[in-house]
Amino acid sequence: MPVDLQALYPKLINLMLDTIFVVDRDNQIVFVSDACEVLLGYGADELTGTSITDYMHPDDLAITRASIIRVMNGQPHIDFRNRYIRKDGGIVHILWAAFWSEDVGARIGVARDVTALRQVEAELRFLAHHDPLTALTNRSLFNERLDSALRAARRHKNTLALLFLDINDFKGINDVHGHAAGDRVLCVIARRLEACVRETDTVARMGGDEFTVLLTDIQSEDTVLEKVEQILAVMAAPLGAEFGGIKMPSCSIGVAYYPADGEDADTLLSHADGDMYRIKRHRSAAN
C-alpha cells in the first residue's frame, strides 16, 4: 500500500521540535506549527490572523524588519537571531531560518529556541574577561582597559592613577582556616573595593591576593591619596559573625601616576608594584 505523503506532511510538521511559521506579505501569521505553544506559550489558534511583529521584543523590531525586507527580496536568512516576548511575559531568544516563497505568497520561517545557548555564550564571554571567584575584571581585561585609558589620557592630556594592592598575611588565613574560607574573604575584599570606586573606574584581581584599581580622569594627587585612605579604612572593617572570628587582613597599596611615573602600562604597573612592596617592607620592619 503506497504511503499517502500529502496526509503525512501536516503530522510531520507538528511533530517537529522547532516551530514553523508561515507569514503573508502583510506580516499576518497564516500558519504556525504546534511547537509554538512551547516556544511562545500561545496556541496556533491564538496566533493565526495576528501580526507576527506584535510578539517581537521592541528593541529588536528595527533589525527584524531589515531581515524581513532581505528575505522578501529573495535572500534567504538562515542565521538570524532576535527576541520574542512569551505569553507569560518572559523573553525567548530565537534563531531563524527563513525564505520567501513567491509561489505561495508567504514567508516561511523555522524558529529554534536558543535562550539556553545565549546564556551559555554570555557566561563564557564573562568568564573570558572576569575572575571566576570574585567576578572582578581579570588581568587580561584590565590590561585592555589600562591601554585604552592611557590612550584617552594622552589624547585629552588627563591624569590617571594606578593602585596595586596586596593583602598582608593572607597566606595565614588559608593555612589556619582553609582555602574555602580564604576564598570567601577574597570575595568580601572584592566587594569592598568595588564600593570605593566610581563606575568609570576599574577594579581587577590580578591573581592570588593581588588587586589593582584604575582611577581615570583624576583631579589631583590629593584625590588619589584620599581614595587610598578610604580603601584602607573600608578594608579595616571587621568581617561579619559568619566568618567565625577570622580577622580581616590589612593591605598594602602602591600608587603610580600617569604621566609622572610612566607613560606606558608596563612602566606604571612596575612602579605601582614596587611602591606596594616598599610599603609592605616598611610595615614588616615596623612590626
Looking at the structure, do residues 148 and 254 belong to the same domain, yes or no?
yes
Q: What is the domain-level CATH number for residue 223? A: 3.30.70.270
Q: Which residues of the chain have pLDDT under 50?
A: none
Q: Scan for cell 590590561, then name that residue.
A: 143
Looking at the structure, do residues 83 and 141 belong to the same domain, yes or no?
no
pLDDT at res. 2: 67
pLDDT at res. 219: 85
Q: Is residue 180 part of a domain?
A: yes
Positions annotated as catalytic residues are 209
Exposure on the CB side of residue 267, measured as CA atoms within 13 A:
9
Given 94, 119, 144, the domain boundary residue is: 119
Q: Is residue 259 part of a domain?
A: yes
> Which among 235, 70, 224 has a CA at the least distance from the CA of 168?
235
Q: What is the domain-level CATH number for residue 44? A: 3.30.450.20
Question: How far is CA 65 from each of CA 23, 31, 60, 115, 196, rounded to the nearest angstrom?
Answer: 13, 20, 9, 21, 44
Tell me whether strands 77-85 and 91-101 are parallel, antiparallel or unpaired. Answer: antiparallel
Query: What is the domain count for the chain?
Result: 2
Looking at the structure, do residues 137 and 207 belong to the same domain, yes or no?
yes
Tell me the DSSP string of 90-137.
Answer: -EEEEEEEEEEETTTTEEEEEEEE-HHHHHHHHHHHHHHHB-TTT--B
Looking at the structure, do residues 59 and 165 belong to the same domain, yes or no?
no
pTM score above 0.85: no
pLDDT at res. 283: 72
Looking at the structure, do residues 151 and 64 belong to the same domain, yes or no?
no
pLDDT at res. 287: 60
Q: Is residue 22 part of a domain?
A: yes
Q: Is residue 44 part of a domain?
A: yes
Given 119, 143, 165, the domain boundary residue is: 119
Query: Identity (one letter) of the amino acid at 63?
Result: I
Per-residue model confidence as pLDDT tens digits over 208-223: 999 999 999 888 899 9
> Which among 180, 186, 148, 147 has a CA at the least distance from the CA of 167?
186
Looking at the structure, do residues 72 and 171 belong to the same domain, yes or no?
no
DSSP label at 228? H
Q: Scan for cell 585609558, then name that residue.
A: 149
Q: What angle do CA 217, 223, 224 make, to 5 degrees?
A: 80
> Which among 137, 163, 143 has a CA at the least distance from the CA of 251?
163
Per-residue model confidence as pLDDT tens digits over 122-158: 999 999 999 999 999 999 999 999 999 999 999 999 9
> Which among 192, 158, 173, 157 has a CA at the least distance from the CA of 244?
173
Domain around 171: 130-286
**Angle at which helices 139-156 and 115-129 cross, to 10°:** 70
**Angle at which helices 265-286 and 139-156 cross, to 10°:** 110
Q: At CB < 8 A and 24+ separation, what contacts does 168-172 make? A: 168/249, 168/250, 168/251, 168/252, 168/280, 168/283, 169/249, 169/250, 170/208, 170/209, 170/249, 172/249
Measured between alpha carbons, how far apart are the two ends of the chain, in Å? 96
pLDDT at res. 140: 94
Looking at the structure, do residues 73 and 150 belong to the same domain, yes or no?
no
pLDDT at res. 8: 67
Question: How far is CA 217 from each of CA 34, 232, 255, 281, rounded to the nearest angstrom?
Answer: 57, 22, 15, 30
Given 119, 151, 178, the domain boundary residue is: 119
**Cβ distance 198 to 230 under 8 Å?**
no
Q: Is residue 124 part of a domain?
A: no
pLDDT at res. 86: 97
Q: Is residue 200 part of a domain?
A: yes
Phi, psi of 79, deg, nearest 5: -140, 35
Looking at the structure, do residues 47 and 96 belong to the same domain, yes or no?
yes
